[in-house]
Amino acid sequence: MQHDHKDIEELLPGYFDGSISETDRVVIDTWKNLSHSNREIFDQSEKVWRSLRLLSEMERFHPKRALQQINRKISQKTSQRWWYIWQRVAAILVIPVLITAVWLSLGKTRNSLVAVAPSWQTFSTPPGVKAKFYLPDSTAVWLNSSSSITFPSEFSGDLRTVSATGEIFFDVTTRPDQPFIVSLDKIHIRVLGTRFNIINYQNEGNCEIILQEGKIELCSGTPDALTSLSPINPGELAIFDRNNNRINISHVDTEKYTAWIQGKLVFKDDPMDEVVRKLNRWFNVDIEVADPRILEYVYTATFQDESLDQILELLTISAPINYQVIPRNKQIDETFSAKRIILRKR
C-alpha cells in the first residue's frame, strides 16, 4: 500500500479537525499505536490543539496554522504576554512535533532545528498472538505467533533493511531506487516490491520463503554486500537448510502458506508432523506424538475460527487417533507452562 505522505506537522491538525483523508488517518493511527512514547506525543499534541481553540482572544492565531508553523512563530518578536503563552505551548508541542517529524521523515530536504539519526526498533508478538502494522515506508507486515522484526525509524540511504525471526508476511512498497532487504541470519532476501511469506524460527533447522507475487532474490553475504544465490518466482517455495547451507526450490500452492493472515489455518496433504508444528504455533500449545506411526498420516482441511478442541476432535474422526490434554502448570517464576497434548494411536 502506497501513501502520499506529508510531514507529521501537517497531518496532525487535519487529524484533529477531521479534514484529512482516510489514508492519512491510517498513517497517523498506525504511528501512534506503534509505541507508548508515540501515543504520549499524540496525546500531548491533541491537548495543545484543544487549548489553542479555547484561546478565542488570540484571533490572529488560527489553531491549525499554529500547529503547522509553530517553529517559525516562536522565533518572531512578540510582546511579553505572547512570549509567555508560546513558551508554555512550545514546551509541550515543539519537541514532540520535531520528534514525530523525524520518525515519519519521507526523504524531504528540510531545515530542521536538530539532526537525529534513525533509531532501530523491534516489534514482537508473544506466543499465540498475531499482529499487523506498517513500516515507515508503508510496507505492510503481518506477524504470526512468536515472531519479531527489527527496523529503523526511517529508511535512509540506498537500502531498506530489516531483520526478521518467526513467521512474517510482507507486502512491500515498491521503490525501484531503494531495494528492500530482509536479513535472516545466514541468508538475505532482496526485493523491490512484492508479497511473500517467511518462516524463520531459530529453533528449526530450515528457513522457508514463499513468494505469492512479484520477484525476489536469495542472497548471501551482508545486506551492504550481497551475493546472488537464486531468484524466486511467484508460486515457489525456497527451503534453506541452515546445517548445510543448501537451497531447495519447488512449486507450491501459496494459499496454504499465506492464508494465516486472513485467519485461516490450511492443511493440504500435510504430514502429521507439519500439522503438529502449525497447531503448536497457532494455539501456543505443546503437542507430543507418542506413537511414531501417527507421523505417517497426512491431513487436508481448512479451519477458520475453530477452537483447538474442535480441531482435535476432527483429527480423531479422520484418523485412528486419541488425545490426552495435560493442563497448564504454574511455574516457579509465576508463569504458566504451555498446555500439553499427547497424541496416541487408537
- The domain spans of the chain are 8-103, 120-256, 263-345
Please give the Cα distance from 247 to 239 (Å, whole number): 6
Please give the Cα distance from 272 to 289 (Å, whole number): 9
- End-to-end CA distance of the chain, in Å? 50
Give the DSSP letter of residue 172: P
Please give the Cα distance from 300 to 314 (Å, whole number): 11
Please give the Cα distance from 289 to 330 (Å, whole number): 23
One pLDDT digit (tens) per residue for the chain, 346 residues: 333 344 566 777 778 877 887 777 877 887 777 777 677 777 777 777 666 655 543 444 444 454 555 444 444 444 444 444 444 444 444 444 444 454 454 444 444 434 456 789 999 998 888 999 999 999 999 999 999 999 999 998 899 999 999 999 999 999 989 999 999 988 999 997 899 999 999 888 899 999 999 999 999 999 889 999 999 999 999 999 988 889 999 999 999 999 999 999 999 999 999 999 999 988 889 999 999 899 989 989 999 888 899 999 988 888 899 999 988 777 777 677 778 999 998 8
- Compute CA distances 74 → 51, 87, 96, 207, whole Å: 17, 8, 15, 54
Q: Is 14 helix (H, G, I), strand (E, B) or coil?
A: helix
| pLDDT score of 246 | 92
Give the DSSP letter of residue 219: E
Please give the Cα distance from 9 to 338 (Å, whole number): 46
Please give the Cα distance from 287 to 264 (Å, whole number): 20
Please give the Cα distance from 166 to 127 (Å, whole number): 11
Q: Is 244 helix (H, G, I), strand (E, B) or coil?
A: coil
| pLDDT score of 155 | 92
Q: For residues 198 and 218, is the Cβ–Cβ distance under 8 A?
A: no
The residues, ordered by sequence, that sit 6+ positions from 67 with a Cβ below 8 Å of its Cβ are 9, 12, 13, 45, 48, 49, 52, 93, 97
Give the CATH number of domain 120-256: 2.60.120.1440
- Residue 300: CB atoms within 10 Å: 11
| pLDDT score of 92 | 44
Q: Which helix (H) or strand (E) holds 189?
A: strand 187-191
Torsion 252-255-256-257 (CA) sign: positive
| pLDDT score of 185 | 83
User: pTM of the entire structure?
Assistant: 0.64
Please give the Cα distance from 29 to 47 (Å, whole number): 17
User: What does DSSP say about strands 246-251 and 236-241: parallel, antiparallel, or unpaired?
Assistant: antiparallel
The CATH number, out of the four listed (3.10.129.10, 3.90.180.10, 3.55.50.30, 3.40.50.150), of the domain defined by the range 263-345 = 3.55.50.30
